[in-house]
Amino acid sequence: MRWINFSLPGSGRQAYGTLDENDQVREIRGIPWAEHEFTGQRHGLSDVKIEVPVVPPTFYAAGLNYITHIREQEALAGRKVNVPPQADIGYRAVNALVAHEENVVIPEDATHIEYEGELVVVIGKKARNLSEAEAMQCVFGYTIGNDVSERVWQRADRTFWRAKNSDTFKPMGPWMETEFDLARAQTRVSVNGEVKSHFDTGDMLFNIPTFLSRMSRNLTLYPGDIVWMGTDGHSPKLDHGDTVEVDISGLGTLRNTFVRA
Amino acid sequence: MRWINFSLPGSGRQAYGTLDENDQVREIRGIPWAEHEFTGQRHGLSDVKIEVPVVPPTFYAAGLNYITHIREQEALAGRKVNVPPQADIGYRAVNALVAHEENVVIPEDATHIEYEGELVVVIGKKARNLSEAEAMQCVFGYTIGNDVSERVWQRADRTFWRAKNSDTFKPMGPWMETEFDLARAQTRVSVNGEVKSHFDTGDMLFNIPTFLSRMSRNLTLYPGDIVWMGTDGHSPKLDHGDTVEVDISGLGTLRNTFVRA
């Protein structure tokens, strides 16, 4: 099932709904992973504004989780980047989230912007101390993220605060899908209509159950938390006017245009 | 003015209120930094449970921001730790927050736990592109944090996910104070009643306006965001049964007991 977070232009009212094959949105009262009921209201997809699927309590990110991407980062840094020996999760910040079709704003002093197309896991249940076998029980569904990065700042700063968390640097969406076949999924990223990277979405160094199980040994996962699973391949340098589309089989396409501040 | 987030044992109802010198809580409807009104209900401080002052949209942390602490971390790491050349903010995670008087739970496999007593800045207004001169306008008030850390994990892991963000590792409170004289403030941390560290709270490498101004060049600060300003001095190794008190002049005392899982 496909779940969309939307607002109605004019009223500003925001709600969740299901989205069917005919682009019809069936509005609910409540939250998809908690108590909810259908309101009886329906909307055409083209009549609503798509919002960020969820603003999470905690925004987790795997970071380096595909081998080719690690080698690319190594070339970028001009020094050895170790393959992570264990699934140590990282963090991103909610200020940076923007929805499908919203612009990514390149800061005035930014010089080297790249995309990173990523699978996003949305947590649906409070969970602690999950085994790997149990881990997928806490997953509500999946969406798509673009972990936009400024590589000069990423190399120079002590943290990723502006390299990865500047406002608008975290497009996510367009919606959440509860059924997903990771084993057959491909991630394809295109710039202005031309495919620039594609990789097997499931070809991760540490898979989803490994991350969730390890995280849950020390921390409580909460409904609405999100985990970005990392990226593979290489992005060209992006600039004003570029439109980036991240497509993951079965999940849809996240599209955002980059504009200079 | 002193603001407290509290719940009423039995009912589970949670609200904000002001706290006066006679330990009387005057309950409000709403949020201190937004629209609110007094409900007319009053409670004795001893009749309420103190809750975490705020669960922030984003949980910022300065990290290394006092010289003596940097030298201590250097000794711990057994290698040179560079003094940060600029105010690059870091992050912590909300799952780890606990209130005044709640226990810090030491994970079974943790071996080296320390405290870090910190001043916490609470943001009260949405803000972007603040000059240093304007920066303090977005501050609502102050509280106290204890940035509990597991030093072996901090050294070994690729991120701080469990070293600093394990459940219960971020005590914060007991309340928020809107009037605060940073220039005269002292931070004193005691273990089981004995003072183990004390330092001038304002003796920071990068001060509050410097951090907020720099952050706001790339990101939007939101009401309820918190910024932990770092710590100085050295903590002894903590273990089961230890009670840690972080006292900052004019703000009060944050007290938590450490227990083994």
Looking at chain B, the domain(s) classified CATH 2.30.30.370 span 2-49
pLDDT score of A77: 77
Three-class secondary structure assignment of A112-170: CEECCEEEEEEECCCECCCCCCCHHHHEEEEEEEECCEEHHHHHHCCCCCCCCCCCCCE
Asked if this assembly's ipTM is beyond 0.90, the reply is: yes
Interface test with B, best of A91, A111, A126 (most B CBs within 10 A): A91
Does the distance separating the beta carbons of A58 and B91 come in below 8 Å? no
pLDDT score of B70: 86
pLDDT tens column, A226-251: 999 999 988 999 999 999 999 999 99
CA distances from A159 to A57, B90, B260 (A): 21, 6, 31
Does the distance separating the beta carbons of A90 and B218 come in below 8 Å? no
User: A59-260: which CATH topology?
Assistant: Fumarylacetoacetate hydrolase; domain 2 (3.90.850)
**Percent of chain B surpassing pLDDT 90:** 91
- Class assignment of domain A2-50? mainly beta
Looking at chain B, the domain(s) classified CATH 3.90.850.10 span 59-260
User: What length is written for chain A?
Assistant: 261
Interface test with A, best of B54, B95, B150 (most A CBs within 10 A): B95
Candidates B57, B159, B217; nearest CB to A90: B159
User: B2-49: which CATH topology?
Assistant: SH3 type barrels. (2.30.30)
Question: Residue A123 — very low, low, confident or very high, per pLDDT cuts 50/70/90?
Answer: very high
Does the distance separating the beta carbons of B95 and A157 come in below 8 Å? no
pLDDT tens column, B126-178: 999 999 999 999 999 999 999 999 999 999 999 999 999 999 999 999 999 99
CA distances from A64 to A3, A33, A89 (A): 28, 29, 10
Does the distance separating the beta carbons of A95 and B57 come in below 8 Å? yes
Whether the CB-CB separation of B69 and B230 falls below 8 Å is answered with yes
The alpha carbon of residue B220 is apart from the nearest alpha carbon of chain A, in Å, by 6
Extract the tokens encoding B104. 């810090």
Q: Tell me whether B205 touches chain A (CB under 8 Å).
A: no
